[in-house]
Structure 1
C-alpha cells in the first residue's frame, strides 16, 4: 500500500469518527425542549408580536438544529420590529439571547418599543357627488384618525373601511380611493396620512320587480318606503326585507339590488317571495301556578284575501279560566307598523269563589313608532258574575280605552329572549259613562314599569312596579274584570292568583279601587344557562290608598331556555308567618 493510499484511508477514518461524534451529540441537542419568551411589551403589542414571531411555532417542541435555531432567532428580531410598526413604533430595539441547559433551550427576547410616531397631518380630500352629502361630512368628524394622536395602522385601515362602507350603503357604487398612503418621517417621528376618495355619482333606485307573491301588488307596495328615482340606500332595502319577513305572509324573502343591470346610474331591485302556508294550527299543553294545567288550541289564516287581511283565533283551557277569542286583522297604511282589528272574546272564570263569564267585542287601532306603541280601543262587554253565594249579577259597559308602551332592550347575543339591560313603561286609561250603554260611570288609570340592569356578566337587578286607581259613580256596579286585584306569579309572589284585595262578608276577594305592587330581585349566573335569585315583593289592592301593604320574600331558580327564562320560585308572606311557602312556576321574557 502506497503512502498516498494510507493517507487517504486515515482521512476517511477520521471523517467517519467525526461523523459518529456529531451523530451521537445531535440527538442530545434535539432532546431539549425549546422555550421562547419575550419582555418589554404587553397587551395588543404582545399579541401582535406573537402573531409575527415565527419561532413561536416551535415553542414547547424539540429544539431545531443549532444553525436553524440561530437563524430563526436572528430573524425574530426583525419580525418583532415589524410587529410593532402598525402601532407607530418605528424606532424599536430588539435583542435576543440563547440559553442552553440540560433539558431546555431558551430564546429570550428583550424589546424596547422606543418612542411612538404621531400623526402630524391628515390630507383628506373628498370628490364626486359625496362632496355634497352631509353623511360624509359627519363621517369625517367621526373618523378615528386625529392629528396629534399616535399612529395606529389599524385605525388607518378602519377609516378606509368606514369610507368604503358608507359609500356602498348610500349607493356610490363607483367609489374608489385615488390615493391612500402613510408617509413616515423617521427622523422626526411623525407621519402624514393621505386619503383621497372619489365617490363618483350616487345611484338611484330603478324599477322594482316582485316575483311570486300571493298578495295584491298594490298592497305589497305599501311596505315600500322608497320609489323609483329616489337616492339609493341599503337601509331602505333592509327595512323592506325585515318588514316582509315579519309579516308572516311569506316563508322566505329575498330583496337584492341588481348592480350588473344598472343603467344610467339607476339600479333595479328584485324582490323574490315564497308564500307561507296559508293555514297555521297550534296545540300546546302548559302549566302555571296561577292557572294550573292548561291547553292552548290555535288556528290562524295568514291571509284571508289578497289585501292582506288576517284571521287569528285561540282557545285556552285551564283549571282556573277558559278563554276563546277571534281576531280579524286589517293592515293599515303602513302594514309593518299599523293595523286595525275586530275582536270577539269569551272568558269564563271560576276561582276562589268567584264565578264570572265575560263576553266582549272590540275594535282596535294599533300603531308602532320605533320603541313606542299605542293602542286605541272601543269595547262593549257584558259580564255575568257572582262573588261567593251572593246573588248573580249582570253588568254591561261600553269602554273606550287608550294604552301606551315604551320598550328599550339590550338582548343577549346568544339568545334574543334573554334581556341584559332594558325597561318597559306602560300606561292604560279606560272609562265609561252611564249615559252611553253602561251601568255606571268610571275612569280607570294604571301605570306599570319593569327594568333589568346588569351589574356584571353574572349579576342582574330586576325591578317592577304597578299602580292603579278608579274613580266611579258606583263601585258596586263594576264587574270583576274592571276592578283591581293583586297576588300571583306576576304580582305578589307568596300569595295565590288574585288573592289580595278587599273581601265581602263571606271573605271572598271582590277587588279594589286602588292597586299598588312593587318587586325587587337580584339574580346570579351560577352556571351556563342557570341563575339563582333572591326577591321581595310588596303590594295589595284596597278601597283607600291607606290599604295595608303585604310583603313577601323568596328564592328562585332560572333556566335560560331558548324560548325564554323558566322561573321556579318559592315565597313566604312576612306579614303572615303561619302561611305556608308558595310555589310559583312561570315561563316568558323578563320584560
Structure 2
C-alpha cells in the first residue's frame, strides 16, 4: 500500500469521528411526537366516521414515523377522509394537508371542505306480490327514512332494505327477493336516484304441527298455541310459543322451528321438540335481612301433578322474627301462559318487638298476565290471633275480597336481568270486608305504590319510590295487624326498625294505623364494574289521621351487583330523633 493511500483513510476516519455527534443530534431531533388535527368537519357523526377511516390516527401520541412513511400515510389520509364522507352523501369533498415539524412535535394538519351534500331526487320503492297489500307493510312504508328532497345517507338505504327483508321473513313471505337495487349518483347536480323493487311472492300459512316428547296431554299443550293450521304465518307466534313453554317450567328444553324445506301448497309445517323437566324441585337456603334477621328457607315444588298441568308449590321460611308456611295449588287457565287459578293456604307466626301474632289464611286467587300488566282477584278467609304488648290476646275473623293491578316496564342489563338501567313499577290494591258477610268489622282500604329507576349518565342513577295507603273502617280495634298500615324497615323508612313507625297505644306499643305515606329518593354512582355507592333520604310514617307527623332519615350505602341482583348495605339515621342510633340495613333483590 502507498503512503498516500494511508493518509486518505486517516482523513476519512477523522471526518466520520468529527461528524458523528452532529449526526446523532440530527437523529435525536427527528424523534418527535405525532399530533393530527382535522379542520372543517364539525358534525360529531361525520367526525367519528372520519377518524375511524384515518389510518394515521393509529400513530397519534406516539413517535412520528420516518419522513417518507409519514408523507405516504398523510397522502393516504386525503383519500380516506373522502371515503369516510361519501356514505353521508358528500361526493364533492376537497382535502388538503400540511406537515409541520417543530422541536418536539410533528403536526399533520388536514383541512377539509365537505362540499355540497347529495340530495335524493327520486325514491322509487316498488313491492309486488301479496306483501304490497299487507297492513304491516303499509305501516312500515310510512316510517321509511328515504324521502325525496332529503340528504342521501347510505345507512338509510341499507336500513330500508333490511326492514323489507325482516318484514318478509317475519310474516311468511319466504320466497321474497329483490328484483332491482339501483342507486345512481349524478355528481354534476349533486343528486341521487334510488330504484328498489321487491317481489314478495305469496304469504305462507301455518301447516301441520308435530310435537315430540310431550309428557302432558295434547289438549292441554294445545292451549299454549295461539295459532292454528291455515292461519297466516308470523314468526312472532312461534317466538311467543317458545317463551311460554320455557316459562311454564314443565320443560327443560324447548325447540320451536318452522320447517321451510318441507313447505308445500303455501303452508309451512312447524316442529315442536320438548324435553321434560325434573318433576320435583327442592330448595334450601340460609339468608339474613335486618327486617327478619337470620332465616332459613325450605321449598318444594311439584312442577306437574297430572297431565292437565296442575302444579303444587310449598314454602317454609323460618326466622328469628317470623315463621311462615305457605302452600299453593295452581290450575292453569284457558291460556296457561297468561292466566291461572290458585288455591292457597298460609300460616304465619310472628313475634317481634311488642307484637305477637298468629295468622291462618286460606284463599282463592284468579291471576291474569298481560304484556306489562298483571291483575289479581282474590277472595281470602283469614283468622288472626294477636296481642300488642301486655294487652290480652284478641282474635279476628275476616272474609276479604281484593283486586290488585300492577305494571312494570324496564330496560334490563343484557348480562344480568336483575340489574335495571331504567324502569317503572306501579301497583294499586283495593280490598275490603263487611261485618254482614262473615267479618268482625267492615272496612275498605286502598294501597298505591310505585318506584322509578332512571340513569342520569353512564354512572349516575336516581331511584325514587312512594307508597300510600288509606283505610276506612267501622271498628279499627277489630282490624288485625296483617291488615293495618305500618312504616319503617328496609323497604320503607330506613333508620327505623321493621314496622316500628306508627301510632302507639297507652303503653307506647306500635299498633299500626289507618293511613300510610312513605317516599324515598336515592342517588347511586358506579365506582367499579360491580360496585355502586349511594346516598338517600326516606320520609314517611303511618297514623290514625293523615295529619300524622312524618319522619325523615338520611343515609349512605354500598351495592354489590351480584349475579342474583344487587346486594345493598345501608347505614341510616333518623334525623327527627337524633338520639336514635344509626341503623344497618341489608337487602338482596332487583331494583324494581
TM-score normalised by L of structure 2:
0.89
What displacement does 1:336 show? Answer: 0.8
Q: 1:556 to 1:70 in 2, by over 3 A?
A: closer
Is the CA contact (8 Å cut-off) linking 1:34 and 1:63 kept in structure 2? no
What displacement does 1:36 show? Answer: 8.5
Q: 1:395 to 1:526 in 2, by over 3 A?
A: same
Q: 1:541 to 1:64 in 2, by over 3 A?
A: closer
What displacement does 1:87 show? Answer: 1.8
The corresponding residue for 1:267 is: 268
Matches of 2:533 and 2:573, distance apart in 1: 17
The corresponding residue for 2:502 is: 501
Matched, 1:588 2:584: no
The corresponding residue for 1:21 is: none
What displacement does 1:504 show? Answer: 2.4
Q: 1:65 to 1:477 in 2, by over 3 A?
A: closer
Matches of 1:528 and 1:201, distance apart in 2: 50
The corresponding residue for 2:318 is: 317
Deviates more, 1:528-537 or 1:309-318: 528-537
The corresponding residue for 1:377 is: 378
What displacement does 1:297 show? Answer: 0.5
What displacement does 1:536 show? Answer: 1.9
SS at match of 2:415: coil
1:248-263 aligned at under 5 Å gives the runs 248-263=249-264
The corresponding residue for 2:335 is: 334
Matches of 2:262 and 2:32, distance apart in 1: 62
Matches of 1:455 and 1:336, distance apart in 2: 36
Deviates more, 1:107-116 or 1:163-172: 107-116
The corresponding residue for 2:179 is: 178
Q: 1:486 to 1:83 in 2, by over 3 A?
A: closer
The corresponding residue for 2:440 is: 439
SS at match of 1:460: strand
Is the CA contact (8 Å cut-off) linking 1:485 and 1:500 kept in structure 2? yes
Is the CA contact (8 Å cut-off) linking 1:63 and 1:105 kept in structure 2? no
Matches of 2:76 and 2:584, distance apart in 1: 69
Matches of 2:172 and 2:123, distance apart in 1: 26
Deviates more, 1:235-244 or 1:410-419: 410-419
SS at match of 2:147: coil
1:115-134 aligned at under 5 Å gives the runs 115-134=116-135
1:191-230 aligned at under 5 Å gives the runs 191-230=192-231
Unaligned runs of 5+ in 1: 1-24
Matches of 1:423 and 1:436, distance apart in 2: 38
Matches of 1:386 and 1:366, distance apart in 2: 33
Deviates more, 1:458-467 or 1:161-170: 458-467
TM-score normalised by L of structure 1:
0.89
What displacement does 1:525 show? Answer: 2.3
The corresponding residue for 1:39 is: 38
The corresponding residue for 2:3 is: none
Deviates more, 1:114-123 or 1:554-563: 554-563
The corresponding residue for 1:368 is: 369
Is the CA contact (8 Å cut-off) linking 2:32 and 2:103 kept in structure 1? no
Deviates more, 1:137-146 or 1:37-46: 37-46
Matches of 1:237 and 1:203, distance apart in 2: 14
Q: 1:387 to 1:102 in 2, by over 3 A?
A: closer
The corresponding residue for 2:82 is: 81
The corresponding residue for 2:348 is: 347
Q: 1:101 to 1:410 in 2, by over 3 A?
A: closer
Matched, 1:550 2:556: no
Q: 1:297 to 1:116 in 2, by over 3 A?
A: same
Residue by residue over 1:427-456, the C-alpha shift from the partner in whole angstroms, topping out at 9 and shown as x without a partner, is: 112122222222222222222222222222
Matches of 1:75 and 1:574, distance apart in 2: 67
Q: 1:448 to 1:101 in 2, by over 3 A?
A: closer
Matches of 1:32 and 1:565, distance apart in 2: 51
Residue by residue over 1:120-178, the C-alpha shift from the partner in whole angstroms, topping out at 9 and shown as x without a partner, is: 11112111111111111221121121211211212111111111111111111111111
What displacement does 1:424 show? Answer: 1.7
The corresponding residue for 1:512 is: 513
Is the CA contact (8 Å cut-off) linking 1:359 and 1:381 kept in structure 2? yes
Matches of 1:491 and 1:104, distance apart in 2: 61
Q: 1:459 to 1:182 in 2, by over 3 A?
A: same
Deviates more, 1:337-346 or 1:98-107: 98-107
Is the CA contact (8 Å cut-off) linking 2:34 and 2:64 kept in structure 1? no
Matches of 1:69 and 1:439, distance apart in 2: 92
Q: 1:243 to 1:97 in 2, by over 3 A?
A: same
The corresponding residue for 1:139 is: 140
The corresponding residue for 1:5 is: none
The corresponding residue for 2:529 is: 528
Matches of 2:465 and 2:84, distance apart in 1: 52
Matches of 1:108 and 1:483, distance apart in 2: 74
The corresponding residue for 2:11 is: none
Q: 1:541 to 1:53 in 2, by over 3 A?
A: closer
SS at match of 2:441: coil
Unaligned runs of 5+ in 2: 1-22
SS at match of 1:297: strand
Matches of 2:505 and 2:108, distance apart in 1: 88
Q: 1:560 to 1:195 in 2, by over 3 A?
A: same
Deviates more, 1:176-185 or 1:469-478: 469-478
Matches of 1:551 and 1:65, distance apart in 2: 69
Residue by residue over 1:485-543, the C-alpha shift from the partner in whole angstroms, topping out at 9 and shown as x without a partner, is: 11111111111111122222322222222222222222222332222222222222222
Is the CA contact (8 Å cut-off) linking 1:487 and 1:499 kept in structure 2? yes
Deviates more, 1:564-573 or 1:521-530: 521-530
What displacement does 1:48 show? Answer: 4.1
What displacement does 1:412 show? Answer: 2.9
Q: 1:77 to 1:391 in 2, by over 3 A?
A: closer
Q: 1:346 to 1:115 in 2, by over 3 A?
A: same
SS at match of 2:157: helix
Q: 1:74 to 1:548 in 2, by over 3 A?
A: closer
SS at match of 1:476: helix
Q: 1:53 to 1:515 in 2, by over 3 A?
A: closer
Matches of 1:574 and 1:54, distance apart in 2: 60
Matches of 1:87 and 1:514, distance apart in 2: 61
SS at match of 2:336: coil
